[in-house]
Amino acid sequence: MSLKYYFILCCSLLVLAACEEVIDIDLNAADPRVVIEAQLSDLNSVQRIRVSKSVAFSESINSLPVENALVTVRDDQGRNFSFQYEQNGNYIHPNFKPVAGRTYVLHVYVGDELYESSCIMPAYVDVDSIGVLEENIFGDPYYFATFKFNDPADVNNYYKYDLSINGAPYRFASALNDKFNDGLYVTHQISDLDTDLVVGDSINVRRYCVDRKVYEYWNEFQSTNPGTAAPGNPTSNISNNALGYFSVASAKEFGLRIEEGGFIEE
């Protein structure tokens, strides 16, 4: 049984325990909304921003790409970075590596409508050690990638993890903060709610240090969406009723292979 189903079970028990009126929502009635997915980082110098429009829940596609948007990012040093359309709603800048400590402002024009957001890029918090932890949960073995580090004292820190298993596309794994462990030696355990890790798996983890609003977006996502067929939309940090998020993060990537009784760093 996967970790996802334990989350579903807990959520189901909470629902059964609450007596609330059932509200029917027409998932096909809402007007299309602009969706902006902008996860910029210093992992490399190629940055991508996707612009699309939402579709009815019953549609066979997830979104409609927007091909004629004007997409720019400006930093607090007065530099402007113009993104050029590539394909499938993706806008690319081939030589833009953001710098920690600077503030970045996103502007996206879709027709006459402006969508904007700002984000401060946090400094990266170095990891002391990485590994793989095996835990026994209800008689079944589960594996977690682990990251141990000293959380900086008296600083609000927010972390986001994306996970790739055996070369598959990266997916969001977890968002964490230091509310209860500020300044302490911390261990983050990262896994995939949908796919159980097993011996022999090669995993890659992207660890981002993000700002508060980006953390709140992903924390809302992970709090409201486990096991749902029709996931809710987290609160965006982009103006004008847009969906999605704008993030400029410091990041590093780690590779591990799970072995019997241990792991190999790749």
What type of residue is 50? R
Q: Which pLDDT value is given to residue 243?
A: 96
DSSP string spanning 191-250?
--SSS---TT-EEEEEEEEE-HHHHHHHHHHHHH-TT-SSPPPPPPSSSTT-EEEEEEEE
Pull the structure tokens for residue 116: 């904007």
Q: Which pLDDT value is given to residue 137?
A: 83
Please report the domains of the chain, with CATH numbers, ordered by start residue.
Answer: 34-120 (2.60.40), 123-223+250-265 (2.60.40)
Average pLDDT per 10 consecutive residues for the chain, totaling 266 residues: 48 41 44 95 98 77 90 97 97 98 98 98 98 89 95 97 97 97 97 90 97 97 66 89 97 96 86
CA gap 34, 31 in Å, rounded: 10
Q: Which pLDDT value is given to residue 134?
A: 92
Q: Which pLDDT value is given to residue 230?
A: 47
Q: Which of 147, 120, 134, 144 is nearest to 207 (CA)?
A: 147
Residue 164's φ and ψ, nearest 5 degrees, are: -120, 130
